[in-house]
């Protein structure tokens, strides 16, 4: 692939501005959080987490096996009776307390998340952490209002929720899971992703700091086998999973025929549709935010740009110019736009799909961008000349790679946008309000953003259609999935 030189954009250097790492000391060894305390795993096993930006070892983390998961589920079950029968306002107060501590510790948590995940500090500081706190504040307010929310006259919690999350927004996905579950009176056993467990363990400390009753939140660390043990445990009443469609399908098969409730938040291949009347500069910012935010490790990323044929060339030219200004490098530098890819495996997957795009005849373009020598990195990449049959148009790349397709009419835009096995999100860029509504009615996506992209709010339900999963997180709908269906109106 050839790097095309920057197209005349003036460049200037900014002095490096790293955040001090010692704001977030990583514990060299980390136990499991069960029954309110950190404990050693039954068989003493552990695994190593690695810093994506350097490839260096970060910490040793306990590996939970089936007996540990059993212990955690039993601790959650013991805690459930008292937690669910507390006055709801009291549950709300614990959630408020957790939210406040998250705010107080947000600099430390933002740094830790950047080190562990590879994402830029500008994003963890300005997006992830404020949203994490907002989720706890929002659900704190709901705890004592469930009976008046149209969720049935006497909504009851489900019991013990087993929650499994991915690595792309570790603490944010934890908040999406834990805050509504606790507000509704459930107790939880959460398993973070194996490459990003550190902020979940910091959250366990926050639970201690907030004096949350023992066993209400339990955190077991490990990889797929630990997740499987949680899914298969007979003492779990609900599984909430966010991750790949492949694993989501395996989980659906595992809980089929049991009484367990299930919500699945899976992958996506969103269309970001730009009409010829859209304000180009704003659309370009939205396209960049849609696919290059968080290195493209975003389930709802706008990874397919559908641009009206008449404005294809100017939009792509401005996009290329804008990409030339993005800074890739040290995640702890607040000037960084694009950080490290989370793992060697993920980089391999991105590289493999980019090679497939080239082999199938799409045309790649990258800005002039030097990649650091250590760690895992991928330059922002645009494919033009993409056909709907190409793998880069069909498969979730989960990296900083945009596939550009064209359309001529709104009908064609809808047909192409919906031509995917996924249905998580979509974007529409046009100055006509009526067209936005026309498109939103027809797009088979859980979220449709208009003249913006990647906006999140705890009051707004988020979730998918088709192979993007089922169930919603956030809003009243998100609460409903942690309450007894018989009681939900
Ligand atoms: P993944 O499915 O490989 O892993 C997700 C989690 O599941 C991890 O904690 C992993 O350890 C665990 N796991 C793996 N195998 C398991 C099994 N057999 N049983 C139980 N648990 C198991 O996904 P990933 O690579 O960590 O995350 C990326 C994927 O997540 C992407 O497809 C992305 O689109 C999706 N995602 C979706 C949303 C959403 O809200 N829809 C949000 C973020 C990420």
Tens-digit pLDDT profile for residues 229-257:
999 999 999 999 999 999 999 999 999 99
In eight-state DSSP terms, residue 473 is B
DSSP element (H, E) containing 364:
strand 363-365
Per the confidence metrics, is the pTM higher than 0.85?
yes
Token look-up 């020598």 returns 373
Beta strands at 304-308 and 401-407: parallel, antiparallel or unpaired: parallel
Q: Is the CB of 193 under 6 A from ligand 1?
A: yes
Instruction: List, in sequence order, every residue forming a beta bridge with 382; answer none if it has no partner.
Output: 365, 402
Domain boundaries 271-450, CATH class: alpha beta
Q: Is the CB of 466 under 6 A from ligand 1?
A: no
Q: What is the C-alpha to C-alpha distance for residues 399 and 115, in angstroms, rounded to an integer?
A: 18
Match 């490290």 to its residue by tokens: 340
Angle at 82 between CA 77 and CA 85, to 5 degrees: 120
Closest by Cα among 310, 195, 183 to 243: 195
Side-chain-side CA neighbours of residue 33 (13 Å): 26
Q: Which ligand 1 atom is at minimum distance from the Cα of 176?
A: 40
pLDDT in tens, 12-55: 667 777 667 877 777 777 899 999 999 999 999 999 999 999 99
Q: Is 247 in the pocket of ligand 1 (CB under 6 A)?
A: yes
pLDDT for 150 equals 86
CA distance 86 to 2: 63
Indicate if ligand 1 lies below 6 Å from the C-beta of 461: no
Distance 153 CA to ligand 1 centre (A): 35
Per-chain mean pLDDT for the chain: 94
Query: Residue 62 — very low, low, confident or very high, per pLDDT cuts 50/70/90?
Result: very high
Joined together, the tokens standing for residue 353 give 């799909």
By most ligand atoms within 8 Å of CB, the mutation choice from 166, 196, 296, 300 for ligand 1 is 166
Q: What is residue 462's DSSP assignment? A: B
d(CA 120, CA 295): 9
Domain definitions of the chain by residue range: 21-265+466-484, 271-450
Over range 304-316, report the average pLDDT: 98
Rounded to the nearest angstrom, the distance between the alpha carbon of 266 and the centre of ligand 1 is 7
The pLDDT assigned to 152 comes to 85
424 close to ligand 1 (CB < 6 Angstrom): yes
Phi-psi region of 245 (alpha: psi -120 to 50; beta: other; left: phi over 0): alpha
Distance 166 CA to ligand 1 centre (A): 5
> Of how many residues is the chain composed?
489
| Sheet-wide strand order for 261-265 | 37-39, 32-34, 217-219, 187-191, 160-164, 238-242, 261-265, 469-470
Contact 136, 99 (CB under 8 A): yes
Topology, domain 21-265+466-484: Aldehyde Dehydrogenase; Chain A, domain 1 (3.40.605)
228 alpha carbon to ligand 1 midpoint, in Å? Answer: 12
Q: Which residue in the block uniquely carries the two structure tokens 């469609």?
A: 245
Backbone angles phi, psi at 106, to 5 degrees: -65, -30
Residue 488 is predicted with a pLDDT of 41
* End-to-end Cα separation, the chain, in angstroms: 56
CB 479 within 8 A of CB 186: no
- Atom 8 of ligand 1: nearest residue by CA position: 193
Q: Residues of the chain with pLDDT > 70: what percent?
A: 95
Assess whether pLDDT exceeds 60 at residue 85.
yes
Q: What is the mean pLDDT of residues 382-389?
A: 98
Q: Which atom of ligand 1 is nearest to the CA of 222?
A: 11
Q: What is the pLDDT of residues 159-202, one digit of tens each?
A: 999 999 999 999 999 999 999 999 999 999 999 999 999 999 99
% the chain with pLDDT above 90: 91
Compute the distance between CA of residue 348 and CA of residue 52 in angstroms, rounded to an integer: 13
């Amino acid at each position: 692939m050839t790097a095309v030189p920057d197209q005349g954009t003036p460049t200037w250097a900014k002095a490096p501005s790293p955040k001090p790492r010692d704001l977030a000391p990583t514990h060299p060894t980390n136990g499991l959080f069960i029954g309110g305390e950190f404990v050693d795993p039954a068989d003493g096993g552990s695994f190593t987490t690695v810093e994506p930006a350097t490839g260096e070892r970060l910490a040793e983390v306990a590996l939970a096996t089936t007996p540990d998961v059993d212990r955690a589920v039993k601790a959650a079950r013991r805690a459930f009776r008292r937690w669910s029968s507390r006055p709801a306002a009291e549950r709300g107060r614990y959630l408020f307390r957790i939210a406040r501590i998250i705010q107080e510790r947000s600099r430390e948590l933002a740094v830790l998340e950047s080190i562990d995940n590879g994402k830029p500090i500008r994003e963890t500081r300005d997006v992830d952490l404020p949203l994490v706190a907002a989720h706890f504040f929002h659900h704190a307010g709901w705890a004592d209002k469930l009976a008046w929310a149209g969720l049935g006259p006497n909504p009851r919690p489900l019991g013990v929720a087993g929650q499994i999350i991915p690595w792309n927004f570790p603490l944010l996905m934890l908040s999406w899971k834990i805050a509504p579950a606790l507000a509704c009176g459930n107790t939880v056993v959460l398993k973070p992703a194996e490459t990003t467990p550190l902020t979940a363990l910091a959250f366990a400390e926050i639970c201690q700091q907030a004096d949350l009753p023992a066993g209400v939140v339990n955190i077991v660390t490990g990889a797929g086998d630990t997740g499987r043990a949680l899914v298969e445990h007979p003492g779990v009443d609900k599984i909430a999973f966010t991750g790949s469609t492949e694993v989501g399908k395996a989980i659906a098969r595992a809980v089929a025929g049991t009484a367990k409730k299930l919500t699945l938040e899976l992958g996506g291949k969103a269309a970001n549709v730009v009409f010829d009347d859209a304000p180009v500069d704003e659309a370009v910012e939205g396209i960049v935010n849609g696919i290059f935010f968080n290195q493209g490790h975003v389930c709802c990323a706008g990874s397919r740009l559908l641009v009206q044929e008449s404005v294809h060339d100017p939009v792509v030219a401005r996009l290329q110019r804008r990409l030339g200004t993005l800074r890739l490098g040290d995640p702890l530098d607040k000037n960084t736009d694009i950080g490290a890819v989370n793992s060697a495996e993920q980089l391999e997957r991105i590289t493999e799909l980019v090679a497939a795009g080239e082999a199938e005849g799409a045309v790649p373009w990258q800005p002039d961008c030097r990649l650091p020598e250590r760690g895992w990195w991928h330059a922002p990449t645009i494919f033009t000349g993409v056909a709907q049959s190409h793998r880069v148009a069909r498969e979730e790349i989960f990296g900083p790679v945009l596939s550009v397709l064209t359309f001529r009419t709104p009908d064609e835009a809808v047909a192409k946008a919906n031509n995917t096995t996924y249905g998580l999100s979509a974007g529409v860029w046009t100055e006509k309000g009526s067209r936005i509504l026309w498109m939103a009615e027809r797009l088979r996506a859980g979220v449709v953003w208009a003249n913006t992209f990647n906006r999140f709010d705890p009051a707004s339900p988020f979730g998918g259609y088709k192979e993007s999963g089922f169930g919603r997180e956030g809003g009243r709908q998100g609460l409903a999935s942690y309450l007894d269906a018989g009681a939900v109106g």
